[in-house]
């Protein structure tokens, strides 16, 4: 917002340095000053003073006191500066140059910047790096549960965040579609239920989960089972293993059943991702990566990264030894069993190779269970040993478990809390609330808003908790319109929309803020000005939580403003118009922050 002014000051600083035989400050970094009644930015002269001290020492000159010299430079620069319009004064404090903005000019510039940029306010400059975020990847032949949702919304929020910050972003999903668990469902479907599948995308997906629960019950040993029960169970197990062997051998009949039932799972997954606003760009499947994975093992052996201990043992990588570490840190991991079968690690390594070589990914982010932290670090280190420079920019965004306080919705589904059940419950509760509070709202609009608020409540409940921590999801707390929740933030946006509707006028293109601002106005302007920096920081740290906290703080500030500061009934037309523009700017930034969280911003409620 004040880039031109900063560049003006930087030019003057460089001119001062050149005129006084000081080292050229290659990069001048500015940081915002903590707000204390006025807005400003600051830069340090410690590095410049240290460079000067080093040069003098090298040439045999007198020794400089760096802190003292930094303050001298800051004082001289402050005295020499010709401040551009919009800046009120400069001061030197302990080696720092502090520049302060005129309050009316700063307020106007912030509000104007938001309303000019609109949905792009806070968007970063292009970073010339490609990021792939891998998330939303439940195993097939199961149904999408609340834990899968935490993964999906966390990955989507991160994808929106890094994209908004300026990175070219690719969303990737890597569902597990092979393995004994998958074949278990294919087996019971073939044996007992072929042709009996229900209609409906969600009904079929949930039915597959029921089949898995039933099959597991049939295949698990029971206490006090009779010889006949044991024989039947062992027969079932033999049939399942034989089916797996036939799948692995490419048997057309088994493959056809697997593909048919897999598609039901994928249909449900895609329907839910569409419901929550996730569009995957690239789909990888474990079944497709498996053969590729076997091919990389020989390469790793040839490069001396992996040790081949077959036929007595597996192929493995002694990571600490290969890295030259004296103490155990990354340990050893197997990449191929002695029977020639691959592991998750083998496939993740092969897939990383595809990401780097075929998709030219510079950064690869994995949204995976926090319990896989060591495994992910092992993967990254093997990629580093393999020579992929991108390994240093691989990142594991871990997340904890999700459970319910009482598990009331889990008994029907084999101890699994289905996302669709929770989402429907949230939407129905919001719908009932809207029907009571806003009965004049048309039915279709009520349903639309109920979906927006219900899903917003679920998303915020997942994102406002540190991703590494477990969540006990309480639907009553999530839907509270007055708590630390999504509906509370959405309601701030609704209130802003309501003020602007009732104003009944188009916003003026520009208004000065040269009147005495209330503390509520100052707080709003200050928070709005921080949004671009908040986006940048959250993206650098891969932390959607930062945006979730910011959105709540902005909503809280606006709710306070709403109750305390007259807008439509302001004392003068000039103040009224300025406050309307401030309301419009707040509404826009709330919408932008909600978008980054994968939450829609309703205009009515």
pLDDT in tens, 552-564: 999 999 999 999 9
Kindly state the tokens that stand for 62: 């007198």
Give tens-digit pLDDT for 361-380.
Answer: 999 999 999 999 999 999 99
Distance from CA of residue 242 to its chain's centroid?
42
Give tens-digit pLDDT for 71-107.
Answer: 999 999 999 999 998 899 999 999 999 999 999 999 9
- Contacts of residue 134, defined as CB under 8 A and 6 or more positions apart, other chains included, come to 155, 172, 173, 174, 364, 365, 366, 367, 368
Q: Is 44 helix (H, G, I), strand (E, B) or coil?
A: strand
pLDDT of residue 487: 97
- Contacts of residue 233, defined as CB under 8 A and 6 or more positions apart, other chains included, come to 218, 219, 220, 221, 222, 225
Residue 496 and residue 586 in contact, taking contact as beta carbons nearer than 8 Å: yes
Give DSSP secondary structure letters for 308-328: E-TTTS-EEEEHHHHHT-SS-
Q: What is the mean pLDDT of residues 144-161?
A: 96
- Structural domains of the chain ordered from first start: 3-101 (3.30.1360.70), 178-277 (no CATH), 438-596 (1.10.730.10)
pTM of the full predicted structure? 0.93
Rounded mean pLDDT of the chain?
Answer: 94
pLDDT of residue 510: 87
Kindly state the tokens that stand for 539: 């993206």
Is residue 46 within a helix (H) or strand (E), and if so which, with residue range? helix 46-58
Please tell me the distance from the alpha carbon of residue 590 to that of residue 487, in angstroms, as a whole number: 12
Cα diameter, the chain: 98
542 vs 64: which has the higher pLDDT: 542
Give tens-digit pLDDT for 202-222.
Answer: 999 999 999 999 999 999 999
Rg, C-alpha atoms of the chain: 30
SS3 content of the chain, % helix, strand, coil (to 5): 60, 10, 30
**CA angle centred on 115, ends 569 and 459, rounded to 5°:** 95
Q: Which residues pair with 315 in a beta bridge?
A: 308, 336
Specify the range with the lowest mean pLDDT, choosing from 153-162, 286-295, 400-409: 400-409
Q: By C-alpha distance, which of 500, 504, 475, 485 is closest to 549?
A: 485
pLDDT band at 26 (very low <50, low <70, confident <90, very high): confident
Exposure b/e, 2-38, CB count within 10 A at least 16 = b: beebbebbeebbeebbeeeebeebeebebeebeeeee
Q: How many CB atoms lie within 10 A of CB 313?
A: 12
Please tell me the distance from the alpha carbon of residue 521 to that of residue 381, in angstroms, as a whole number: 50
pLDDT band at 407 (very low <50, low <70, confident <90, very high): low
Q: Is 205 helix (H, G, I), strand (E, B) or coil?
A: helix
Please tell me the distance from the alpha carbon of residue 552 to that of residue 489, in angstroms, as a whole number: 6
Please tell me the distance from the alpha carbon of residue 581 to that of residue 503, in angstroms, as a whole number: 11
Q: Which residues pair with 334 in a beta bridge?
A: 316
Q: What is the mean pLDDT of residues 498-525?
A: 94
- The H helix count followed by the E strand count for the chain is 20, 14
Cis peptide before 406 (omega within 30 of 0): no
Please tell me the distance from the alpha carbon of residue 331 to that of residue 318, in angstroms, as a whole number: 6
């Amino acid at each position: 917002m004040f880039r031109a002014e900063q560049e003006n000051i930087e030019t003057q600083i460089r001119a001062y340095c050149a005129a006084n035989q000081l080292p050229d400050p290659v990069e001048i970094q500015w940081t915002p000053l903590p707000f204390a009644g006025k807005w400003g930015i600051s830069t340090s002269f410690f590095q410049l003073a240290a460079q000067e001290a080093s040069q003098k020492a090298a040439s045999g000159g007198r020794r400089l006191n760096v802190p003292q010299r930094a303050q001298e430079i800051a004082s001289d620069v402050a005295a020499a500066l010709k401040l551009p319009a919009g800046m009120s004064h400069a001061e030197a404090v302990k080696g720092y140059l502090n520049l302060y903005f005129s309050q009316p000019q700063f307020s106007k510039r912030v509000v104007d910047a938001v309303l000019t940029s609109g949905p792009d306010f806070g968007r970063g400059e292009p970073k010339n790096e490609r990021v792939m975020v891998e998330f939303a990847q439940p195993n097939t032949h199961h149904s999408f549960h609340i834990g899968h949702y935490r993964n999906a919304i966390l990955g989507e929020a991160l994808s929106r965040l890094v994209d908004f910050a300026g990175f070219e972003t690719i969303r990737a999903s890597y569902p597990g579609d092979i393995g004994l668990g998958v074949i278990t469902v294919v087996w019971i479907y073939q044996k007992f239920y072929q042709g009996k599948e229900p209609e409906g995308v969600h009904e079929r997906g949930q039915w597959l989960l029921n089949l898995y629960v039933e099959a597991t019950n049939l295949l698990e040993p029971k206490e006090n089972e009779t010889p006949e029960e044991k024989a039947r169970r062992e027969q079932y197990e033999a049939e399942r293993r034989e089916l797996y062997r036939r799948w692995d051998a490419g048997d057309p009949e088994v493959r056809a059943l697997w593909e048919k039932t897999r598609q039901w799972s994928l249909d449900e997954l895609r329907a839910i991702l569409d419901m929550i606003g996730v569009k995957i760009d690239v789909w990888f499947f474990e079944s497709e990566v498996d053969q590729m994975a076997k091919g990389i093992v020989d390469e790793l052996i040839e490069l001396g990264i992996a040790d081949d201990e077959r036929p007595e043992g597996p192929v493995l990588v002694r990571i600490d030894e290969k890295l030259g570490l004296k103490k155990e840190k990354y340990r050893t991991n197997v990449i191929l069993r002695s029977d020639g079968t691959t592991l998750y690690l083998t496939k993740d390594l092969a897939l990383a190779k595809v990401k780097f070589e075929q998709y030219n990914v510079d950064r690869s982010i994995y949204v995976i269970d926090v319990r896989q932290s060591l495994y992910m670090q092992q993967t990254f280190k093997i990629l580093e040993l393999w020579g992929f420079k991108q390994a240093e920019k691989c990142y594991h965004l871990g997340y904890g478990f999700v459970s319910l306080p009482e598990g009331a919705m889990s008994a029907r589904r084999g101890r699994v809390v289905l996302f669709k059940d929770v989402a429907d419950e949230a939407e129905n509760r919001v719908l009932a609330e809207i029907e009571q509070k806003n009965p004049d709202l048309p039915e279709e609009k009520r349903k639309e808003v109920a979906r927006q608020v219900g899903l917003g409540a679920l998303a915020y409940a997942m994102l406002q908790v540190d991703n590494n921590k477990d969540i006990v999801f309480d639907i009553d707390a999530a839907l509270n319109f007055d708590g630390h929740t999504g509906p509370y933030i959405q309601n701030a946006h609704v209130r802003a929309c309501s003020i602007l509707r009732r104003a009944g006028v188009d916003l003026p293109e520009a208004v000065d803020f040269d009147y005495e601002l209330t503390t509520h106005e100052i707080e709003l302007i200050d928070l709005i000005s921080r949004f671009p920096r908040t986006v940048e920081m959250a993206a650098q740290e891969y932390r959607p939580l930062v945006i979730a906290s910011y959105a709540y703080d902005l909503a809280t500030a606006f709710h306070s403003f709403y109750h305390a500061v007259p807008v439509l009934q302001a004392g003068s037309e000039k103040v009224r118009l300025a406050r309307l523009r401030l309301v419009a700017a707040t509404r826009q930034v709330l919408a932008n922050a909600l978008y980054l969280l994968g939450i829609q911003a309703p205009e009515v409620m």
